[in-house]
Amino acid sequence: IPKHADLQPYNFAVAGHDGTLCDPEGELFIKPCVQQEIDFYEKAFKDHPAFADLMPEYLGTLVLNDASDVHDIEEQIPAAVEHMTQHFKEEAVRMAKQHAADVAAAEAAKEADALAASNENVSWKPNKSRKIATDKSVVLENAAYGFKRPNILDAKLGQRLWADDAPMEKRKRFDEITKVTTNGSHGFRIAGMRVYKGGENPDEWDQEGYKVYNKDHGRLVVNKDNVVDEIRKFIFNPRANIDEDLGRAVAEAFVNDLKRVEQVLASSETRMYSASLLFTFEGDGDALRAAIENQTPTTPPKEATEKEPVPLASRVDSGIVMDGEGEIILPQGNGTTINGVIEGDVKVLQLAGEAESDDEEFASLPKIYSLKLIDFAHATWVPGQGPDENSLFGVRSLIKIFEELAK
């Protein structure tokens, strides 16, 4: 069980907001979030096991501070914060300030919309109930855990990127992005990417040896004509000993998982706007080869065998199994399972489900690859309304592209 004071900035995010954290071992990914994202995770893990299987393991929520007043956070931080490490304290302050800035920005946007609405003589009322930020974070499985050099690609799904509650200004802004990016042509765009020893020029590598492609890459460089080659740069990389054969094997593995995603989305009733598929695989070719060779067939844990285990994922790296009732059993999961509470000024870790404590070495490490659906800030369950064709279009384009790369 991680101590709150040991939480540290997560350095491998390839897109999205700042302020993500992880535990010292790196098994957990902690992200400040809106209530809507928590609700979406809760529902998935409660009622939709096949869908939950596409998501990072959801361990619960973490309350970082009192959200009642973030405007004067320096004074609001409770005394308990005193025993935080200086680092974490700064992080909490920074996150709270970001929260305040988000709230202020949201207020400004609402005012602009209200003004626009009144100008258009439409009686549209800004939705005051949606909280832009909460004091809560989701605690998730860190998808990059277990890799030596994780290559990571965030593919943001959808032609339409805004949810029903989005103000007019945001709709227009996002539609413009769709128009000029592969969100329009393919229903997804590369929101961010990092490749170990990637790109043409070693001068561009960061301290750890990664070429990092930021959000401008997917907006300004990638287009409908070069998107396959840009994703090729993610998979194939002779500088890291990922040759044609190895790259094709990785692409094929992703095709299989993408088809599973397609199948599950096609039989689920959700609307997700700006959700992402997070592709991760071992970016060091030698480590990748070793991981593939070391890979032993996953033997399901004993208690699961008795209940006819259903593998939670088709992934070879997954040791997570579900019993016949859809209960998740974690003894061979992605590391030491979390079965406790983070106490202190970081108030509560509400556990999403029962997790068994286990000291065994986990058979699933080192990891080869992983595909996860993430970012549910604008996702809802819509029973009776059919599948999410907007997200499915992007998934189907990705299947075609990875099939092409697997040839």
Residue 13 binding target from ligand ADP, Mn ion, none, CB below 5 to 8 Å by type? ligand ADP
Applying CB under 5 A, which of residues 230, 282, 375, 388 lies at the interface with Mn ion?
375
| Rounded least distance, CB 276 to Mn ion, Å | 5
What gap in Å lies between CA 37 and CA 20, rounded to an integer? 15
Q: Toward Mn ion, which CB reaches closer, 57 or 375? A: 375
Q: Toward ligand ADP, which CB reaches closer, 84 or 277? A: 277
Binding span for ligand ADP by CB under 6 A among 91-99, 103-111, 126-134, 139-147: 139-147
Neighbour-count burial for 156-178, b at 16+ CB within 10 Å, e otherwise? bbbbbbbbeebbbeeeeebeebb
Binding span for ligand ADP by CB under 6 A among 13-21, 60-68, 82-90, 224-232: 13-21
189 binds ligand ADP per the rule CB under 6 A: no
Q: Toward Mn ion, which CB reaches closer, 274 or 397? A: 274
Applying CB under 6 A, which of residues 377, 379, 398, 399 lies at the interface with ligand ADP?
377
Binding span for ligand ADP by CB under 6 A among 14-22, 84-92, 161-169, 173-181: 14-22
16 binds Mn ion per the rule CB under 5 A: yes
150 binds ligand ADP per the rule CB under 6 A: no
Q: Toward ligand ADP, which CB reaches closer, 181 or 323? A: 181
Binding span for ligand ADP by CB under 6 A among 61-69, 138-146, 379-387, 397-405: 138-146
144 binds ligand ADP per the rule CB under 6 A: yes
> Is the torsion defined by CA of 327, 331, 337, 338 positive or negative?
positive
Interacting residues with ligand ADP (CB under 6 A)? 13-17, 20, 29, 31, 56, 140-144, 152, 154, 192, 276, 278, 374-375, 377
